[in-house]
Each structure stands twice: as structure tokens, then as C-alpha cells.
Structure 1
Amino acid sequence: MNKNIARLAVTAGLTAALSFGGVMAPVTMAFAAGAPTVATEKGKVAITDEAYTDTTFKGIQIFTAKVTQDQKGDGSWDVSAAKTLSDIKWASDDVKTLVTTALKDVPGVPNVNEDAQTWAEFISTTQGSNYGETTAVDNGTVLDLIAEALEGDKTLTWTQPSNSSKGNFESLDQGYWLFVTDAPSKTGNTDVYTSPIFTIVGGSDVKVAPKKSVPTVVKKIKNDGGSDWADKADSQMGQKVEYKLTGTVASNIATFDTYHYEFSDKLSDGLTADDSSVIVKIGEKILSPNTTPGAKTGYDVSIDKATNTLTVKFADLKTAAKQANAALDGSSNVVVTYTAMLDPMKATNVTVGDTGNDNAVKLIYSNNPMGEGTGESVPDTVRDYTYALKLVKVDSVETAKKLEGVRFTIQATTPDDASSNGKFVQEKGNLGADAYEFTTNKNGEISVAGLDAGTYTVHEVEGSNPGYNTLKDFDFTIEANGLKKLEGERLDDNTDPNTLKVTARSNNPTMVTPSADGGTITLTVKNEKGSGLPLTGLNGVTFTWIAGGAVLCIGVAHLIRSRKQAEESEQE
């Protein structure tokens, strides 16, 4: 009798965390103070997933047993009291075979023919202190091996939920049970599988939430001249702009044997990413790219030109983190930074103003700790804006008269990006050290797209507009008021364009009228003709020329006559 009580006290440790995932509580004395009572009614388990209500679960019994728990004076179960198990038996021969086979290489394992109680003691002792309501089953522990073996056998018959709540189990036999995800939510593809939930059924009802978290990703862009990461920015054509991707991992990542993790970043058609600029960190530790594509020691970077998608992929994030000596747990963030630009070679694909050039990232991650499969996060979007200039050259009096063939240069004098100061706008909107000369067409216009916010100086090339005064240099400024309107983590539902404010400084006789429409600013420049200075005394000048010609003729005739008379005198 005393021997049986002592053994019961040891095996009473086969209790489990009643929430989240799957661990046994420490060995306790069999009967604490109170009124211990053997449960006779069938047990109930409710697994509630508030975020993904269509997720379904399934359960399987490992051991049958008598379940004892304290009861209060009113006959209700004392939910704060531990449950104990006695008269432990295997639930079925199939379960026994799978469990004993899965644990055959664990040090100290009992003989396969030992009774169920001996095996229960071994499981409880070997699992050790890895238990609790907030603890997930770690990969490689005895409970993980048991769950993997049972989940991996497709011939077993699992118990299904009792009603449409997807995770509500009723009329369960008392004993030790395992619950796992049967089918993840059909809402998108974001749901993940829970870590195994091990619990004692019988006594007080079991109410748990699945032990999981769905990974998320946030994308940010860095605007000019600031250190803050934002949801949108504006930039010059050809300017390298910094992007940052921050991804979370599953809170139960320790349950996974390997963990596929991938950033899939879809850029708009006018953007070009620099794959050589990619840096990946966990905390302050920099992870290394693979030297061999597809290896597990690092990550692979690729750009799909057909879809303009940048991919940063880990075949196994856990191995890569270990290789870099980076601490990886359920609270870790994986951070990717890289640069991209509005590409002058893709100028026709660059969106001017409007809703900007969007850039969306999603995560693809392992979602089942007990098997294969991946899920996808909700995408996150940022936008990169750029603007266009249309300069119209007209006659100051006959404003309908457009001036063709006039050449201009445009210089960034106070750009948002300080490194661009003093550079000249080129044909495609990018900046360069040498001045590019724009020439007005038959409509008197020059157009260029790809300008950043900031101040620019317009210079008319001297002599390019015959008959008109050369314009004095003038400035215009673009302010993107809309950049400050949007706040919050996500941009997906906001497609409001930026509003632009443009001002221009007029220097006599240069007259500039600025306006803005969407992402395009228009500068109408009026030019005055050159003055025709009057010529006075024109008739007097003419008379002088006539008189002078007459005198010259008379002089010549007199000279000829004199010579002739002299010759005649000599002959006489």
C-alpha cells in the first residue's frame, strides 16, 4: 500500500500546461491539501483561436488514466489545483509502438515491454523543467519526438472537434492527450500551426489558446536629409534610396527543426534594386550570404527581372543565425536593408506624382513545426514619389506665340538630398556634374520627369533666343506637402497622391508664373523682345553722300581735262 502511494506521488508529475503548448508540469505530491476527487464525467477541451476562427484542431489520447483533482465545497473543480494521474495505461497498441520507437535513442529509455506507468515516469523525468503556460515544446525534446511521431503517422485515427467551433472537444476519456492543428485558417495564407498541446483531460475543463504567432513584416523608406524611416519619401531619378524590411519570427520557433524564411519584395516597374547592397542582421549580428546557392549557412539574394522582385531567402534561418552567433528566439527580428533607385533607363515606367512608385514586401515562412509547408504574411507597402517639370516659353506681349529652339540648363541649388547640391538635371531627370541643355520644341516647351523636392535654378543659354532679351537666372521650389499627411505602420489602404506647392522667384525682366497639377509643375516664362534703337538725321546723311559723290566726279573730270591740256601744250 505504502509502495503504491509513493509511486503515485512520483507519477503525479505527468501533468501538463493547460494553455499553449505542450509541456508537463513538475513532479508534485499526489494529494495536496483539499478534497481530492477522482473525475468520473467525460472531459472537455476548448482550443480558441480568436484571430483565425476557421482554424481546426484534432486530438489523440496517449495514456488512459484515473484523473484526480481537488474539489471545492460546492462540488466544482478547483482549477488552481494540480491534476494527478494513476492507473496509467497506453491508449492503444499503435500509440505505444509509435511513442516507444520515437524515444528509443533517448538516454535511459525503458525497455519497450515495461508498463505504461514506467514510460510515463520516464517521459515526465526526461522532459525536466521545460514546461509552463508560456513555454513551447522545443525541437528534439521527448514531447516533440512524441508529437512528431504521432502527427507523422497517417494511419492513426484522430478525434475531431465536437461542433462548428473548430476547437471544441467534448466527451473525452480521462487521461493524457495531444492536440495539434488539423487545418490552418483559409483566410489568406497567413495562418500557422500551433506547437503541440499536451494536457490532462478530466476534472476541470481545459481552455487553451494555440501556442503560435503569425510572423509579420514592416517596410520603411528613408527620406532625404533625415534619419527617420517612413512609409513614403520622394527622390530624384537615379538617386539611391534606402529601404528597410523588419520581419518577426514564430514565437514557437524552437519547435521547428528547420525554419524556412524569405523576404519577397515586389518593386514597381520603374525601380531597380541593388542586390549587392543587401545587409541582413539579427540584433547587431550581421548574417552572411551563402557561398553556395541553396546552402543553409546563410541566405541567397536574387532579383527576378520578369516580375522585378527582390528575394532574400534562408533555407534554414536557425542554422544561419547559429553560424553568425546571433541569438534567435521567438522575440527576434530579422532586418534587411538595401538601396534602390528610380531608374533613368526605365524612365517610361516611372510614375510621376499620383500615388507614387509602390514597393511591397511579404514574408514566406515555415508554418508547421510538425511537417512541411509555408505561409505568407500580410504585405506591407511603401511609396517613392517623384515629380515632373514643364517649362513653357512665350512672348511677353503675344502670349499665344511659343518660342522654339531656346536652350536652358537646370541646376539643383538647394535639393532635399544635400549630396546633389550644385549638380545639373539631365535629360532623364537624373543629376550629373555637367550642364545638360534642354531645347524648347515647337510648342515652346521643355519637359523633364524625375525631380525631387527642393530648389532649382533655371539658366537660359545666351544667344539661343535671337530677337529676345536673354532671361536672367531664376529659381523655383517644389514642396511636397502630402508627405507629412500619412502616419501609421501601413500604407496599403491609402492611395492619396501628394499635393505640391511650387514657388518661383522672378527677376526683371524675367516673368514666371508657376502652377502645379498632380505631380507636374508648370512654369510659364514670358520673354520680351529686344529694342530697335531709332536712327536720326537719315535724310541729311543721304544728301551728304550724294554731294560728296558729285564733288568727287567733278574733281575727276577736272583732273582728266588738265592732263589733256598739258599734253596738247607739249606737242605744240
Structure 2
Amino acid sequence: MSKNIARLAVTAGLTAALSFGGVMAPVTMAFAAGTPTVATEKGKVAITDETYTGTTFKGIQIFTAKVTQDQKGDGSWDGSAAKTLSDIQWAQGNVKTLVTTALKDVTGAPDEDADAQTWAEFISKAQGSIFGEATAVDTGTTLDLIAKALERDGNLTWTTPSDSTKGSFKDLDHGYWLFVTDTPSTTSGANGNTDAYTSPIFTIVGGSDVNVAPKKDVPNVTKAVKDDKDGKFVTDDSKNVFTAANKAADSAAEQLVEYQLAGTVASNINTYVKYSYAFTDNLPSTMVPNLDGNKPVVEVKINDSVVDPTCYSATYVPGESTNALTVSFENLKEAKDKTGNPITVDGSSTVYVNYKAKLVAGKINADMLGKAQVNNVKLTYSNNPHTNGTGTTVDHPAYDYTYGIDVTKVGNDEDETGKLKTLEGVQFTLQEKDSNEFIKADGTTTTDKDGAILTTSNEGKINVVGLDEGTYILKEVTPAPGYNNSASNGVTFTIARNALKQDGTEVIPDINSANVTAAAGVVKADSAVASTGKLSFTIVDKKGSGLPLTGLNGVTFTWIAGGAVLCIGVAHLIRSRKQAEESEQE
């Protein structure tokens, strides 16, 4: 009798240690709180995931057993009471062979032919204290070895859900069961997040219904850009990059802008032996990351620890359709810091990638001014503890903008159509206020003034792209022939935007802040206009004027008269010489 009670206590311990992979309720041999009753009706298990409603699960029985649990006075099961297993036997099929083979090298493992009760006691003891309803099964533990062996065998017949709810199981035989993910689903949308496989769920079927949530967590990723206006990756200092990432910034051509990628890891990462993890950041074709040769310059951190570059791969593949920067870990769990010390990676860890990128001057055109240049990041991660399966997150964007000007140069006289005449060949320089550098038409800068001359086209236009928010001075250095230089002292204007929206909305400069100012009459009245990404205005030069001239007719007559006298004198000289020659001959 005492031996049976001892075995019953061990069995109760097994119940406590293995339910859901952990403790369901304190185990006691006192039954005063209710009436211990052997369950007779078939068991039910419901696995519920409110986000990934399309994910399906499957289950397999490991041990059959009689299940005893307390009932309340009204005959209902007391769900808070522990379940007790007795008369434990191996389930049908190949389960026994797979389990005993998987555990044969664990210290203290029974003989393969030992009875099911002995093996159940060993599993309970060998699992130790690594369990809990809120604790995922650790890799390499007894329960993990069992789950891995059963999941990887392709000849087992698994029990599938009873209806379309994907995780609802009915009419189950009593005993000890394992439930795992069968087919993961994705969130809505073409690029939805891929669900992660649950850590193994071990539970006792029989008595009260089993209701459980999957033991897993899908990693999340986000992307932030540091706006040079306030120099922050977040829009709210009281929040983190996942809840308040700054998604928008603006920049000049060739200006390096700072980006940050941030990703979480699965809460059940301890279930994985190997955890692959990769950021893929697709830049627009107009951008390129900061490079050292062909390799992107990145800093990778896990929480506050800078990761040794030998622990990950950083690559950049340029292209028009694919312009991707990738940072990948073959096994994130093996990451080390720069001094070679292992970095602890658990369910609370965050992985960061910091890098810089710029808008390429030669790829900026007038059509993209004020329009978001979209960078998209996605995360690829291990999603099955017992296979090499991976999942991906949805794309998370960040936006960069650039601006330009459209200036028209006219004279104050009219052409044949009655409009102010446009002036070709007028030369200007453009500088940002308080800068000693000159800005070229493509937005790049130089200290060489002659190398940055802006010349009006045959339509009287100069266009400059790739400008950042700021105040600028446009000076006329060479006017059109016959016109005066009205803007030699410069036209000052400001490209200003209000707070950038976080959704990629087009940006129109603030015309009220443009402050297009110059000497009186230099800028045509009401010509300043703001459109998408661009500020336009017209500069007027006055036509040159002549001074009054006098005496031109008298001077002309004098020249004519003098010429006539000269001609007469020459003719008279020639005739006199001829007459003299004739006289000598006579």
C-alpha cells in the first residue's frame, strides 16, 4: 500500500512538472477541497491565438492513463485542482521507440524496455525545475528532446483539430499529450508577418477542459531615421523606437543621413539551438549606404553591447530594382562583443543596426522633389525550434525628402507676345546663408565659385535640385547683354517645411516662411510660388539705357568735306605732274 502511495505521489509530481511544460497547480495528496473523481468523458483542448487565427496545430499522445481530478459540489470539474495520472501506459504506434531513443543518453535513463510508469517518473525527475506555465521549454531538456524526436519523424499519425477554429481538439483519449504548430499563418496583407511555431505544449487531457495560448512570440522590426532638425530617432522622448520611431527626414544631395534598424527576438528563443536572424533593408534606387570599398559601414548592437563584426555578415547589393543592405546572423545566440565576451540573448533582447545613407546627386531629378524616397526593412528569423524554418515580418518604411528651386530670369521689356522677355545666358551663384561653399545645379557643393556657375537656359530658367531645408542667397554675377545686373547683392529665400508627416505624404515648402527678399523691383511681385518640393520665383533685370549724343551731324559734314578737299587736292597734284611731264617733252 505504501509503495502504491509513493508511486502515486511521483505521478502527481509528473503531472505538476509536465502540464503545459510546467506547473499547473500545487500538488497535494489531500482531497478535502473537492471530490477526487476519475474522468470518463473524452477530453478537450483549445489552443487560441487571437492574432494568427489561421495557424493550425496538431497533437500526439505520449502516454495513456486514467485521470483523476477534484469535482465541485455541482459535479463540475475544479479547474484549479491538479490532475493525477494512474495506470500509465505508452500510447500506440512508434511513440515509445522515438521517446526512449531520444532520451537514452540522458543520465539515469531507464532501460528501453522499462515500463511506462518508470519512464514517466524519469521524465519528471530529469526535467528538473526548468518548467512553468509561462516558461517555454528550454532546448536540450527532456521535454525538448521528446518534442524534437516526435516532430521530426515523418511516419507518425498526428491528431488534427476538430473544426475550423484551427486549434480546437475534441474527443481526445485521456493521458499525456504533446501539441505543436502544424502550419503557421500570416497576418493580413501580401507581406504579412509569418507566425512562429509554438514551443512544445505538454498537457494532461481528461477532467477539466484545457485552454492554452501558444508559447511563442513573433519578432518585430522597425526603422527610424534621424532628422537633422532635431537629431532624434524618436518623435517622443518618453517612448522607444518601437512605439515612436521617427519615420521621416530631409537632406541635401550627398548628405549622409543616419538610419536605425531595430528588431526583437522570439520570447521562446531559449527553445532554439540555432537562431538565424537577418535584417534586409531595401533602399530606393536614388540612395546608397556609406561604404568602405564595397562593404556597408554599420554598427550592430544587442541591447547596449556592440557586436563583434565577425559574428555577422554585412553586405550591400546595388541595383535599380533591388538596392539592398543586409545584416545577418547565422546564429544570434552565439553573438560576442568586441572583447570576445558572449552576449546574453533572451526574449527581452533588442538588436540594433545603425548606418548612414545618402541621396546620390546624379539620381536626383525635378520629378522626385518633395516626394518620399522610401526605405523598407524586413526581418527574417527562425520560427521553428526543431527545423530550419524561417518567417518574415512585414516591411517597415522610413522616408527621406529633398527640395529644389525653379527661378526664371526676365527683362523689364516685353517680347513680341506682350510678355516680359526671358533672358538666356545670365549667370548666378547659389550659397546657403553663412556658408563659404557654392551649390551646383545637382545640389552638390564646392568652394570653387567658377565651378558652380548656374546659367539660365533659352527659356530663362535655372533649376537646382537636392537642397535641404535652409536659407539661401542667389546672386547674379553676369547679366544678359544689354541688361543691368539687378541681383548682384543677392536674392535671399528660405526653403522651410513644417513637421514632416510620418506616412510618406508629399511635402510642399511653406510659402509663408519663404521670405523671398531682394532690393526693390528685383523679384517680380507675387511671383514666389510653392509647389511639391519646390520654390519658384522670377528675377527682373532692367534693360540698359543710352545717354544723349550731340554734334553728330556737324562732325559728319566735317569728315565729308575734309574727304572731298583731300580728293580734289590729290587729283590736282596728279594733273599738275602730268602737265609738267608733257611740257618737258616738248
With the shorter chain as reference, the TM-score category is 0.7 to 0.9
Task: Indicate whether 1:442 and 2:458 are aligned.
Answer: yes
1:29 alignment partner in structure 2 = 28
> Partners of 1:122 and 1:26 in 2: how far apart?
21
Contact 2:276 2:329 in 1 (8 A): yes
What letter is aligned with 1:205? D
1:411 alignment partner in structure 2 = 431
Distance change >3 Å, CA 463–CA 403, structure 1 → 2? closer
Aligned partner of 1:317 among 308, 332, 338: 332
For the residue of structure 2 that corresponds to 1:500, the secondary structure is: coil
> Partners of 1:285 and 1:433 in 2: how far apart?
41
Distance change >3 Å, CA 540–CA 92, structure 1 → 2? closer
**CA positional deviation for 1:48:** 0.8
What letter is aligned with 2:536? T
Contact 1:65 1:174 in 2 (8 A): yes
2:580 alignment partner in structure 1 = none
For the residue of structure 2 that corresponds to 1:195, the secondary structure is: coil
**CA positional deviation for 1:53:** 1.2
Contact 1:269 1:349 in 2 (8 A): no
1:569 alignment partner in structure 2 = none
Distance change >3 Å, CA 383–CA 271, structure 1 → 2? same
**CA positional deviation for 1:279:** 0.8
Task: Indicate whether 1:351 and 2:368 are aligned.
Answer: yes
For the residue of structure 2 that corresponds to 1:534, the secondary structure is: coil
Aligned partner of 1:250 among 244, 263, 266: 266
Task: Indicate whether 1:506 and 2:518 are aligned.
Answer: yes
Distance change >3 Å, CA 233–CA 186, structure 1 → 2? closer
What letter is aligned with 2:158? W
2:356 alignment partner in structure 1 = 339
Distance change >3 Å, CA 16–CA 538, structure 1 → 2? farther
Distance change >3 Å, CA 344–CA 477, structure 1 → 2? same
> Partners of 2:89 and 2:14 in 1: how far apart?
13
Task: Indicate whether 1:433 and 2:477 are aligned.
Answer: no
**CA positional deviation for 1:366:** 0.9
Contact 2:282 2:324 in 1 (8 A): yes
Higher deviation after alignment, 247-256 or 504-513: 504-513
What letter is aligned with 1:438? L
Q: How does 1:79-478 map to 2 (within 5 A)?
A: 79-92=79-92, 94-185=94-185, 187=187, 188=192, 190-229=194-233, 230-274=246-290, 275-290=295-310, 297-305=311-319, 307-321=322-336, 324-348=341-365, 351-354=368-371, 356-398=372-414, 399-413=419-433, 421-435=435-449, 436-462=452-478, 465-471=481-487, 472-478=489-495
Identity percentage of aligned residues: 52
What letter is aligned with 1:528? K
> Partners of 1:319 and 1:7 in 2: how far apart?
42
Contact 2:16 2:82 in 1 (8 A): no
1:497 alignment partner in structure 2 = 506
**CA positional deviation for 1:440:** 0.5
Query: In the comparison of the two structures, how many residue pairs are matched?
Result: 530
What letter is aligned with 2:144? D
RMSD, matched Cα: 2.7
Task: Indicate whether 1:538 and 2:539 are aligned.
Answer: no
2:242 alignment partner in structure 1 = none
**CA positional deviation for 1:162:** 0.9
Contact 2:44 2:205 in 1 (8 A): yes
Contact 2:281 2:378 in 1 (8 A): yes
**CA positional deviation for 1:479:** 1.0
Contact 1:245 1:335 in 2 (8 A): yes
**CA positional deviation for 1:282:** 0.6
**CA positional deviation for 1:464:** 5.8
**CA positional deviation for 1:470:** 4.2
**CA positional deviation for 1:463:** 5.6
> Partners of 2:366 and 2:276 in 1: how far apart?
34
TM-score w.r.t. the length of structure 2 is 0.85
Contact 1:391 1:447 in 2 (8 A): yes
Contact 2:198 2:216 in 1 (8 A): yes
For the residue of structure 1 that corresponds to 2:433, the secondary structure is: strand
